[in-house]
Amino acid sequence: MSNSEPLYAVRYPDGSVSLYVDEEYALDQGIDPAKLVRVDVPRELYSTGTVQEIREYVATYIESLASGSA
């Protein structure tokens, strides 16, 4: 059993983040697959965290990718 749950996300220039449970749903919503990022969220955060906490985790992860520190 994995210690994380995958989420798919898009981070917009204004800093907001949209989360998607799976890649297929994101594509159905018109999201450009080149902008979609898979983020493995720790299981504990996924199951007990608030949506805001998960958004912040995902946003920080995507920022770290952009800065090359992931």
pLDDT tens for the chain, residues 1 to 70: 579 999 999 999 998 999 999 999 999 999 999 999 999 999 999 999 999 999 999 999 999 998 876 6
Joined tokens for residue 25: 């749903």
Which residues span the domain enclosing 50?
4-67
What pLDDT, on the 0 to 100 scale, is given for residue 69? 64
The answer to whether the Cα torsion of 48, 51, 32, 28 is positive or negative is positive
What pLDDT, on the 0 to 100 scale, is given for residue 38? 97
What pLDDT, on the 0 to 100 scale, is given for residue 66? 83
Phi and psi (nearest 5°) for 46? -60, -40
What pLDDT, on the 0 to 100 scale, is given for residue 1? 52
- What's this model's pTM, rounded to 2 decimal places? 0.84
What is the number of structural domains in the chain? Answer: 1
